[in-house]
Structures are given as structure tokens and as C-alpha cells.
């Protein structure tokens, strides 16, 4: 499913790969109802954050909550057999994106759909990228908090593999799966991995948790609130145990070392 405003080159690539493309928008209930007709399963990762966010138009409220609640209703009415939803593990603070995710999870659990809720932890392609201060090309890293908490960084492509694997796996039926990578590494350990892979030291800057808490308290924009809260969670998150899950879903998980090698050689 693509929007009318989707990048034409990306839409063409989907068609080249053999996908049948339908145009719809989570914020347009009528288009969602039409898109669900004849569909056996829905796999969804759409979100207003971080790159599609538009204040007052495409937000955690309009897209991540209201849009998804419409999609669940439309899927039920169309007789969709399975609904695979991408969320994230619970975080301590209340913030717009998390509030939307939990509302959708609750709706799915109370629906008539066979559902799977995927809760991947921090994506390495997002949180270990220049977009949030991990500028590996310039050898600079912004660390939120002390940087000593172990995090089970996961590749977005591995989450995609889990989503597809859920389609015909009984272990996915009406299940919530927390997902992490193959090892838990602190942000400072990640910096060390990149330094070794690139052969050059990083300049590291810390943002104290107290400063992030101040940002969260002062923020009025849903994007600002959500990012401040997630940055705080980088310092307080817990590792994700994957041994049990991998017995049912034997997926080879990408390591941070492999990710560092790939982006530094690009």
C-alpha cells in the first residue's frame, strides 16, 4: 500500500519486484476499506515518525493511533485473516508515540483478528546513524545519558524477516514478540566497535539524562516529546532475550559489527 504522495521511484521499484500496488492512506478511512478487500493478511510498519511527520497533519495521533484504529476496523470488516503490527517494547515515560502504540495494541488484542504484535527495540539503522547524532562518517557520536546501558540493537531488515516469518508460524498467532539483536551492547561499546572497524577514534559528546528530562517536560510538539522520551530510554532500556524466540523463528540476526562494516565501507 502506497500513498498518492509516495516517491514514484520507490513505487516503481516495488512493482519491479513483483508487488501489486494499491493507493490508500491511513488518514483516509474510505481508501483503507477499499485496500483491505480481498486481503488475507496485513503487515504494517507505517508511522508518522520520524521521517513522515508533519505537524497537525501526519502525527502520532492522526496516523499512529487514529489511522491504525481505522485500519483494524477495516481489516475486520473485510475478513482479513491475520494482522501483523510493528510496535516497540514498553518505555517508562508517557509520550505521544508510545501512547498511540499501546492504544493500537489494546485494540488488536480485543479484536476478532488473529494478530501478532512485534516489539523490536532500537533500530541500528536509525539510532546508530547521523540522523540522531551518531555520525560515523565524521567520527562523532552523541551519547544520550551515561552510555553504559546494554541495548539489543536490531536491524530493520531482521524485523522485516520476522514479519514475513509470522505469516505461517503458529507461534505468532495472537502473540506479542519482543525483538532484539544477537547481543546487548552499550552505546559506548558500539563506539568502540566503530573505532576498531574504521581505524580512527570518535569524538564523543554526552547529553545528560537531566537535560533530556528537561526537554521532555518543556516540549509541546509530539515529535519533540517522543524523541526526548526515547532518548531517555536509551539510558534505561533492558536487553531483549532472544534465545526462546529464535527457536520458533530461526532467523540469523545482524550484528552491530556487521552494520559498522557495511556503513563504513559504503
- pLDDT truncated to tens, each residue of the chain (266 aa)? 999 999 999 999 999 999 999 999 999 999 999 999 999 999 999 999 877 888 888 899 999 999 999 999 999 999 999 999 999 999 988 899 999 999 999 999 999 999 999 999 999 999 999 999 999 999 999 999 999 999 999 999 999 999 999 999 999 999 999 999 999 999 999 999 999 999 999 999 999 999 999 999 999 999 999 999 999 999 989 999 999 999 999 999 999 999 999 999 98
According to DSSP, the residues that pair with 151 across neighbouring strands are 185
Per the structure, how many domains does the chain have? Answer: 1
pLDDT of 121: 97
CA distance 105 to 171: 18
140-144 and 134-135 as β-strands: parallel, antiparallel, unpaired?
antiparallel
Give the range of the structural domain holding residue 64, as residue numbers without chain letter: 36-265
Residue with cell string 552499550: 186
What cell does 140 get?
A: 562523532
Q: Looking at the domain assignment, is residue 145 inside a domain?
A: yes
Q: Looking at the domain assignment, is residue 197 inside a domain?
A: yes
pLDDT of 52: 82
134-139: Cβ within 8 A, 24+ apart: 136/194, 136/198, 136/260, 136/263, 136/264, 139/195, 139/198, 139/200, 139/201, 139/202, 139/203
CA distance 106 to 115: 11
Q: Looking at the domain assignment, is residue 18 inside a domain?
A: no
Q: Looking at the domain assignment, is residue 12 inside a domain?
A: no
pLDDT of 217: 94
CA distance 169 to 184: 26
pLDDT of 199: 96
Q: Looking at the domain assignment, is residue 11 inside a domain?
A: no
**Coil, strand, or helix at residue 155?**
coil
pLDDT of 225: 94
CA distance 91 to 80: 30
pLDDT of 56: 85
Residue with cell string 569524538: 203
Q: Looking at the domain assignment, is residue 229 inside a domain?
A: yes
pLDDT of 93: 83
pLDDT of 21: 96
pTM to 2 decimal places: 0.94
- Please, are residues 164 and 43 in contact by the beta-carbon 8 Å criterion? yes
Q: Looking at the domain assignment, is residue 4 inside a domain?
A: no
Residue with cell string 509530539: 222
Q: Looking at the domain assignment, is residue 13 inside a domain?
A: no
Cis peptide before 50 (omega within 30 of 0): yes
Tell me the CATH number at 98.
3.40.50.720
Amino acid at each position: 500500500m502506497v500513498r498518492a504522495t509516495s516517491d514514484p521511484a520507490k513505487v516503481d521499484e516495488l512493482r519491479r519486484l513483483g508487488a501489486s500496488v494499491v493507493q490508500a492512506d491511513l488518514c483516509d478511512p474510505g481508501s483503507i476499506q477499499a485496500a483491505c478487500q480481498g486481503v488475507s493478511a496485513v503487515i504494517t510498519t507505517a508511522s508518522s515518525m520520524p521521517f513522515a511527520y508533519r505537524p497537525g497533519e501526519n502525527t502520532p495521533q492522526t496516523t499512529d493511533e487514529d489511522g491504525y484504529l481505522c485500519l483494524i476496523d477495516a481489516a475486520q470488516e473485510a475478513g482479513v485473516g491475520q494482522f501483523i503490527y510493528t510496535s516497540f517494547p514498553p518505555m517508562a515515560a508517557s509520550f505521544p508515540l508510545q501512547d498511540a502504540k499501546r492504544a493500537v495494541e489494546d485494540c488488536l488484542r480485543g479484536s476478532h483478528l488473529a494478530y501478532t504484535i512485534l516489539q523490536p527495540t532500537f533500530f541500528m539503522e536509525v539510532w546508530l546513524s547521523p540522523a540522531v547524532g551518531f555520525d560515523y562518517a565524521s567520527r562523532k557520536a552523541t551519547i544520550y545519558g551515561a552510555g553504559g546501558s546494554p541495548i539489543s540493537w536490531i536491524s530493520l531488515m531482521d524485523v522485516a524477516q520476522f514479519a514475513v516469518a509470522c505469516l505461517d508460524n503458529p507461534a505468532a498467532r495472537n502473540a506479542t514478540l519482543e525483538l532484539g539483536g544477537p547481543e546487548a551492547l552499550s552505546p559506548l561499546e558500539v563506539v568502540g566497535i566503530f573505532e576498531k572497524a574504521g581505524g580512527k577514534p570518535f569524538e564523543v559528546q554526552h547529553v545528560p539524562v537531566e537535560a533530556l528530562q528537561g526537554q521532555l517536560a518543556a516540549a509541546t510538539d509530539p515529535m519533540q516529546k517522543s524523541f526526548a522520551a526515547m532518548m531517555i530510554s536509551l539510558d534505561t532500556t533492558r536487553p531483549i532475550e532472544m534465545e526462546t524466540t529464535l527457536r520458533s523463528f530461526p532467523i540469523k540476526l545482524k550484528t552491530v559489527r556487521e552494520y559498522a562494516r557495511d556503513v563504513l565501507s559504503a
